Amino acid sequence: MRAGILGFAAIALFSVLESCGAVPLRRGNFTTNEPIYSLDDVDNKYDYIIVGGGTAGLTVADRLTEDESKSVLVVEFGDIVDDDPELKMPQKGNPFPTQYMFNISSVPQTALNSRVGTVQISAIAGGGSAINAMFHDRGSVADYDAWVELGNDGWGWNDLLPYFKKAVEFTPPDAFMQEEFGITYNEESAYGGHGPVDVSYPPFQWEGLKTQWDAWGDLGIEAQVEGADGTAYGRIWVPSSQDPVNETRVDAVLAHYKRVAEVRPNYNLLLLHKVTKVELNGGGNKARGVTVESRESGETKMIEAQKEVIMAAGAIHTPQILQLSGIGPSSVLEAAGIDVVVDHPGVGQNFHNHPWFVTVFNYTTNFYPNPDTLTSNETFAAEAYEEYWANKTGPYSLGLGNAGVFLPLSDVTGDYQLIAADYADQAPSDYLATDTPPEVVAGYAAQQAILATLFASDEAAVLEMPLAGGSTSVTPNLKPTSRGSVAINPADPSAEPLVDYRAWTNPTDARVMVEMLKRVREYHAVPAMVEAFHPVELVPGPDVATDDEIEQVMRTQLLDPDFFHPVGTAAMMPLENGGVVGTDLLVYGVRGLSVVDASVIPMIPGTHMAETVYAIAEKVSSVCPLRACIRRFR
Ligand SMILES: Cc1cc2nc3c(=O)[nH]c(=O)nc-3n(C[C@H](O)[C@H](O)[C@H](O)COP(=O)(O)OP(=O)(O)OC[C@H]3O[C@@H](n4cnc5c(N)ncnc54)[C@H](O)[C@@H]3O)c2cc1C
Ligand SMILES: *[C@@H]1O[C@H](CO)[C@@H](O)[C@H](O)[C@H]1NC(C)=O
Ligand SMILES: *[C@@H]1O[C@H](CO)[C@@H](O)[C@H](O)[C@H]1NC(C)=O
Ligand SMILES: *[C@@H]1O[C@H](CO)[C@@H](O)[C@H](O)[C@H]1NC(C)=O
Ligand SMILES: *[C@@H]1O[C@H](CO)[C@@H](O)[C@H](O)[C@H]1NC(C)=O
Ligand SMILES: *[C@@H]1O[C@H](CO)[C@@H](O)[C@H](O)[C@H]1NC(C)=O
Ligand SMILES: *[C@@H]1O[C@H](CO)[C@@H](O)[C@H](O)[C@H]1NC(C)=O
């Protein structure tokens, strides 16, 4: 099997040489293009089948169907939801609406007192972009250049910047917001594209934000003019994925489906259906199509992909579907009784996310109004709600917020060099699962060397704290060192997979996050913060004092492994380092099969993920020979 995967390089070269011919015109069956809900209305074959109509999937579908000769079917588990106003408004009553999510729990986390973690991923058309907090940022230059160092030529900051720009259309903050809140930006260094995803600044911020923003300045943290030009460290302003006129959410459904589908009969979107398997040809080296199951009736159908099956089911389900199809680590497949078609050690490995914790302070004095007023004063909330729908202004036009601190480790603790050195001294396999395949250990070794450098760097963030004026802070660790896995459940392979974050199994994460919590306390002790808010710590509380006590309370209560950013489970890396896809995002060893979602991210950048996922999807669908040539015939 392994020899088969390596022989793939020769096939790839051959395909480049023989490709780029004329393509017969194929169209779907639909003249007015409505979403499809029944297998009866689906053709038997399409050129491309995209598995998952989320952030990445709909972006790639949009770009592929620009060429009307290509027929595309997107199969999406969820529905398009148009009748829930909460999904349109930036300030949702429930920021994490579980009715649009899968309901998955992690396996018990050994380093977290055996607590079970959540796995909060979207189950709605548009994917994460349809329910997320609309915080639309990018990582720093070093975060993406790390991908190149891992063996991915063409995927560094300079390579991605054109696609970050292409993905969005930027509208600057209005003069009042600039003056009143000091919001700055640099359109030239970061934007200038005319992508269908609007990013803009809402017309509202809470007064308390000013104090919080300045307090980090008092601690010596520099403000960037623009955070989206590769300088996502220090204090930065961040736009929202928000329509600048209507102040409503812009997700992948609006930007990459509704905008174009009506005039593209070749763009077919099947909703409320689940892909259960990628079908391979007899030899196992080419994807033929997918098996699709109706969620309502359970009816199934095999649909053929004449050119390519494109995986975009997100970082939890993409590796699950690959494994169910016989593509994955043989030990995982055999345990579940699945025939091994391609022994692919990296599928489902290298799983990570941003672990985070919450701190709660009682602001015993405060500005009026403040974020808590929305929950404590019903009259205020009702008026604000009315104002939003009448005028598209006020508190409900504001999402998670539009500012944050992104601190390199050197701005978190004076011990940063020691932490970096101790981490660099670990043997790569010391804290990985004992059954980690050797290729995956090799890939981790490469990541470890880079992470150690980034810990000592001033230009890559480790601590994030979004700022919006509130008294509750969430603080993710942007450079986790622990790695987990996603594996089909041997007891019931078609059930949700076993998701193991293995959070904090590498002790470096605990060491870093204890320092992070202490830094959060220093911020609340800044004189201007004390004067404005007289903050009293409620969670974890002043009796949690020593490093040991902080570590303990995190393990037993505070640490949450899931900041909604699962990545890495079909990583873009060399095959011998446990990679699943190459820089063309095609799966090693199987022709006509690619992965385009957050699964391919080899090492998580210091940012929320939507913009990075959009850029990856834009890049893979834009570049010839990637799209126009190789993709057509393999
Ligand atoms: C609650 C929440 C808040 C977030 N907040 C932010 C934020 O403020 N800013 C930010 O930048 N990022 C945020 N994110 C993260 C960001 O939205 C995701 O990282 C991003 O959407 C991932 O894109 P993806 O294409 O990899 O997967 P997704 O967008 O999740 O798409 C996967 C799609 O596949 C579908 N699917 C799954 N299994 C199957 C199957 N078997 N068959 C067919 N379809 C299937 C799913 O329904 C989904 O539509 C948040 C995410 C969540 C969940
Ligand atoms: C195609 O369109 C015709 C006419 O609307 C319809 O009868 C048929 O079911 C459609 N689907 C397929 C797969 O042919
Ligand atoms: C998850 O649970 C919620 C109820 O809490 C439900 O509305 C939703 O449909 C479930 N998601 C899936 C994918 O079953
Ligand atoms: C914005 O609102 C106007 C007026 O209600 C509406 O016609 C338009 O479709 C809306 N645009 C978007 C992108 O929702
Ligand atoms: C927060 O502080 C206010 C004002 O001192 C006090 O009335 C309130 O009880 C405190 N709340 C909590 C949860 O401690
Ligand atoms: C609640 O909000 C209303 C409307 O804004 C305001 O008039 C009232 O003073 C508020 N009540 C309190 C206790 O702040
Ligand atoms: C909308 O804005 C107008 C003009 O500023 C104002 O008079 C009106 O009261 C606002 N409506 C609501 C519901 O806030």
Number of domains forming the structure of the chain: 2
Q: What is the pLDDT of residues 69-100, one digit of tens each?
A: 999 999 999 999 999 999 999 998 788 899 99
Which of 93-102, 224-233, 449-458, 485-494 shows the lowest per-residue confidence on average (mean pLDDT)?
93-102
Task: Give the residue from 589, 583, 559 showing the smallest Cα distance to 571.
Answer: 583
Known binding-site residue numbers for FAD:
275
DSSP 621: H
State residue 92's pLDDT score.
83
| Domain final residue, candidates 530, 558, 586 | 558
DSSP letter string, 236-282: EE--BSB-TTT--B--HHIIIIIHHHTT-TTEEEE-SEEEEEEEE-T
CATH number where 382 lies = 3.30.560.10
Cα Rg of the chain (Å, integer) = 24
CA angle 2, 336, 4 (to 5 degrees): 10
CB 378 near ligand 6, within 6 Å: no
Of how many residues is the chain composed?
Answer: 634
State residue 400's pLDDT score.
86
- Ligand 3 atom closest to the Cα of residue 99 is 7
23: pLDDT strictly greater than 80: no
Distance, in Å, from the CA atom of 154 to the CA atom of 319, rounded to the nearest integer, reads 24
Whether the Cβ atoms of residue 300 and residue 293 lie closer than 8 Å to each other:
yes
Determine which one of 273, 354, 524, 565 is catalytic: 565
Supply the pTM of this predicted model: 0.93
Percentage of the chain lying above the pLDDT 90 cut: 90
DSSP 611: H
Angle between helices 141-149 and 157-167 (to 10 degrees): 120
Span from the CA of 243 to the centroid of ligand 4 (angstroms): 9
Span from the CA of 492 to the centroid of ligand 3 (angstroms): 20
Task: Give the residue from 215, 174, 139, 354 showing the smallest Cα distance to 223.
Answer: 215
Determine, yes or no, domain membership for 110: yes
Terminal-to-terminal C-alpha distance of the chain: 20
Mutate to test the pocket of ligand 5, among 359, 360, 361, 364 (most ligand atoms within 8 A of CB): 364
| Domain final residue, candidates 558, 581, 603 | 558
Q: What is the pLDDT of residues 187-226, one digit of tens each?
A: 999 999 999 999 999 999 999 999 999 999 999 999 999 9
Span from the CA of 509 to the centroid of ligand 1 (angstroms): 25
Answer yes or no: do 456 and 517 share one domain. yes
Percentage of the chain lying above the pLDDT 70 cut: 93
Answer yes or no: do 334 and 360 share one domain. no
Nearest CA to ligand 2 atom 7: 41
Extract the tokens encoding 439: 């290729």
Extract the tokens encoding 128: 């994460």
Answer yes or no: do 180 and 297 share one domain. no
- Ligand 2 atom closest to the Cα of residue 44 is 13
Q: What is the pLDDT of residues 489-527, one digit of tens each?
A: 999 999 999 999 999 999 999 999 999 999 999 999 999
Determine which one of 344, 352, 354, 608 is catalytic: 608
Q: Residue 223: is it exposed, middle or buried by C-beta count within 10 angstroms (0-12/13-18/19+)?
A: middle
DSSP letter string, 311-353: E-SHHHHHHHHHHHTTEE-HHHHHHTT---SEE-TTTT-SBB-
Determine, yes or no, domain membership for 217: yes
User: Given the DSSP bridges, would you call strands 403-407 and 234-237 parallel, antiparallel or unpaired?
Assistant: antiparallel
State residue 82's pLDDT score.
94
Determine, yes or no, domain membership for 258: no
Mean pLDDT (the chain) is 93
Determine, yes or no, domain membership for 146: no
Q: Give the structural domain span for 341.
A: 2-80+267-347+570-632
- In sequence order, which residues have a C-beta less than 8 Å from that of residue 209 and are 6 or more positions away? 181, 401, 403, 467, 468, 469
State residue 622's pLDDT score.
82
Distance, in Å, from the CA atom of 46 to the CA atom of 287, rounded to the nearest integer, reads 13
Answer yes or no: do 89 and 71 share one domain. no
Answer yes or no: do 435 and 542 share one domain. yes
Examine residue 369 and say whether the peptide bond preceding it is cis (omega within 30 degrees of 0). yes
One-letter amino acid at 491 equals: A
CB 320 near ligand 4, within 6 Å: no
Determine, yes or no, domain membership for 565: no
Q: What is the pLDDT of residues 342-398, one digit of tens each?
A: 999 999 999 999 999 999 999 999 999 999 999 999 999 999 999 999 999 999 999
Answer yes or no: do 397 and 501 share one domain. yes
- Ligand 4 atom closest to the Cα of residue 245 is 1
Distance, in Å, from the CA atom of 616 to the CA atom of 618, rounded to the nearest integer, reads 5
Answer yes or no: do 247 and 279 share one domain. no
CB 364 near ligand 5, within 6 Å: yes
11: pLDDT strictly greater than 50: no
Answer yes or no: do 489 and 373 share one domain. yes
631: pLDDT strictly greater than 60: no
Confidence at 22, pLDDT banded by 50, 70, 90: very low
- Ligand 4 atom closest to the Cα of residue 248 is 14
State residue 282's pLDDT score.
80
Please name which ligand lies nearest the alpha carbon of 133: 1
465: pLDDT strictly greater than 80: yes
Confidence at 49, pLDDT banded by 50, 70, 90: very high
Answer yes or no: do 190 and 213 share one domain. yes
Confidence at 124, pLDDT banded by 50, 70, 90: very high
CB 243 near ligand 4, within 6 Å: yes
Answer yes or no: do 112 and 76 share one domain. no
CB 248 near ligand 4, within 6 Å: yes
Determine, yes or no, domain membership for 107: yes
State residue 623's pLDDT score.
63
Answer yes or no: do 56 and 90 share one domain. no
Extract the tokens encoding 188: 């030239």
Q: What is the pLDDT of residues 272-302, one digit of tens each?
A: 999 999 999 987 789 999 999 999 999 999 9
Determine, yes or no, domain membership for 135: no
Q: Per-residue pLDDT averaged across 449-456, rounded? A: 98
Distance, in Å, from the CA atom of 189 to the CA atom of 184, rounded to the nearest integer, reads 13
Please name which ligand lies nearest the alpha carbon of 102: 3
In whole angstroms, how far apart are CA 435 and each of 172, 324, 542, 590?
50, 20, 41, 25
Determine, yes or no, domain membership for 261: no
Task: Give the residue from 252, 261, 251 showing the smallest Cα distance to 36.
Answer: 261
Span from the CA of 208 to the centroid of ligand 3 (angstroms): 36
| Domain final residue, candidates 558, 593, 614 | 558
Q: Confirm whether 565 is a catalytic residue.
A: yes
Q: Confirm whether 534 is a catalytic residue.
A: no
Mutate to test the pocket of ligand 4, among 243, 246, 248 (most ligand atoms within 8 A of CB): 246
CB 103 near ligand 5, within 6 Å: no
DSSP letter string, 129-189: HHHS--B-----HHHHHHHHHTT-TT-SHHHHHHHHHHHEEEEPPPHHHHHHH-----HHH
CB 379 near ligand 6, within 6 Å: yes
Answer yes or no: do 69 and 173 share one domain. no
- In sequence order, which residues have a C-beta less than 8 Å from that of residue 284 and are 6 or more positions away? 4, 326, 341, 342, 590
CB 251 near ligand 4, within 6 Å: no
Examine residue 319 and say whether the peptide bond preceding it is cis (omega within 30 degrees of 0). no
Span from the CA of 525 to the centroid of ligand 2 (angstroms): 68
Span from the CA of 166 to the centroid of ligand 4 (angstroms): 23
Place of tokens 């404590």: 376
58: pLDDT strictly greater than 90: yes
530: pLDDT strictly greater than 80: yes
264 φ, ψ (degrees, to nearest 5): -125, 90
CATH number where 336 lies = 3.50.50.60
State residue 96's pLDDT score.
87
One-letter amino acid at 630 equals: I
Span from the CA of 486 to the centroid of ligand 5 (angstroms): 43
27: pLDDT strictly greater than 70: no
